[in-house]
Amino acid sequence: RAAGALAAAAVTAVALAVAAWRRARPVREVLFFPSRPCCIEALLAEAAEPGAPARPCPCPLPSGDTALSRLVRRLLSARRSLDLCLFSFSCPQLARAVHLLHRRGVRVRLVTDAQYMGLHGSQIGRLRHAGIQVRHDQHSGYMHHKFAIVDRRMLITGSLNWTTQAIQSNRENVLVVEDAEYVKAFQEEFERIWEEYNPANYRFF
Amino acid sequence: RAAGALAAAAVTAVALAVAAWRRARPVREVLFFPSRPCCIEALLAEAAEPGAPARPCPCPLPSGDTALSRLVRRLLSARRSLDLCLFSFSCPQLARAVHLLHRRGVRVRLVTDAQYMGLHGSQIGRLRHAGIQVRHDQHSGYMHHKFAIVDRRMLITGSLNWTTQAIQSNRENVLVVEDAEYVKAFQEEFERIWEEYNPANYRFF
């Protein structure tokens, strides 16, 4: 009986170690778009009120595992900070996720492109109105990055503009990487741009 | 004297091991744009005729180390294959590098976007004319990827369209990674698109 208990304990220890290793293993994910359309209401509801009973969404879309739902999940994992550097941001679903993080107390900073932020459908005004800090360029080249940094730990970057057209119709890629070296390089680029686009530095010609 | 020779041999062995490790270490590079303007004639000449005496270029641009020269170097390292999946390709310098690889016998395949390939300044027609295989989409969404795979070994991907405007004026990022997992995912995406855009599959409405 003692040997049996010992064996069971050993099996449990191995299982716990494997689970810990899986949790600790850095995220390395490649997402390709277009994404199948999907409902992300359940993801947003769970993030807004963890553990609350799920209410079924009346929309006809499936809530399965898609490139979009994976992207939203990664964003919603933010606990402290979300730094966004986005050429174009008009997708209402992603804007709701960002707004939710802001309401939850995550420090959101958003850098965007001056020419694109005012286009029809842009979510920038809405997010700014909600109290999120937004900065934009003031020169002729495009601020063409499309990356996000979650908790200064996870980099989300690729070809994807945050628009419904891109998500549903285009061939796009997004890398999600928890890699200190890449995160550091992009975080430094973000801070450079954030400072360069500080309104205190604007020159009025 | 024997001890001295032994020490020298040991130092040499360590130096060789370090050199081998550096060579074997997978590439992990992040390039940010805009790039300072630079002359890449020396890089192209060396790639066209390795070891040939360098002729000074009459252009006034410096030939220093820039994001553009690094990108060109990575491309020119191709020995067997170069798979390109590019939304927009109008930069003459990058087109010359690709053309040179094709002439050197590297198997170049190029996937691009139907709406953008015909725009003024596009290099697609020129490359096709040179004998490079080109395929494009035939539907409404954009083929918005901007990646290259060198020798099925190195992935070059980011926000950068291969245009002079993007290289010289925009805020852009490019990751260069020798990572079997990422390369595999992008190579599979490339093959999917290459097959989907096979002209034999075109439907004429």
Give ipTM to 2 decimals: 0.88
For A190, the closest chain B residue by CA position comes to B171
Q: How far apart are CA B117 and CA B133, in angstroms?
A: 14
DSSP string covering A116-149: HHTSTT-SHHHHHHTT-EEEE--SSS-B--EEEE
The ranges of chain A with pLDDT < 50 are none
At residue B53, the pLDDT reads 83
Smallest Cα distance from B193 to chain A, Å: 9
Give tens-digit pLDDT for B32-49. Answer: 999 998 999 999 999 999
Q: How far apart are CA A137 and CA A194, in angstroms?
A: 9
For A140, the closest chain B residue by CA position comes to B169
Smallest Cα distance from B4 to chain A, Å: 41
Which residues of A are identified as catalytic? 144, 146, 151
Domain A27-201: homologous superfamily in CATH? Endonuclease Chain A (3.30.870.10)
At residue A105, the pLDDT reads 97
Domain ranges, ordered by start, for chain B: 27-201
Minimal Cβ distance to B147: which of A141, A170, A173: A173
- Angle of helix B67-76 relative to helix B92-103, nearest 10 degrees, comes to 20
The ranges of chain B with pLDDT < 70 are 22-23, 204-205
Q: How far apart are CA B31 and CA A176, in angstroms?
A: 18
**Helix/strand/coil (H/E/C) assignment for every residue in B150-192:** ECCCEEEEECCCECHHHHHHCEEEEEEECCHHHHHHHHHHHHH
Helices (H), B60-157: 67-76, 92-103, 114-117, 124-129
At residue A17, the pLDDT reads 84
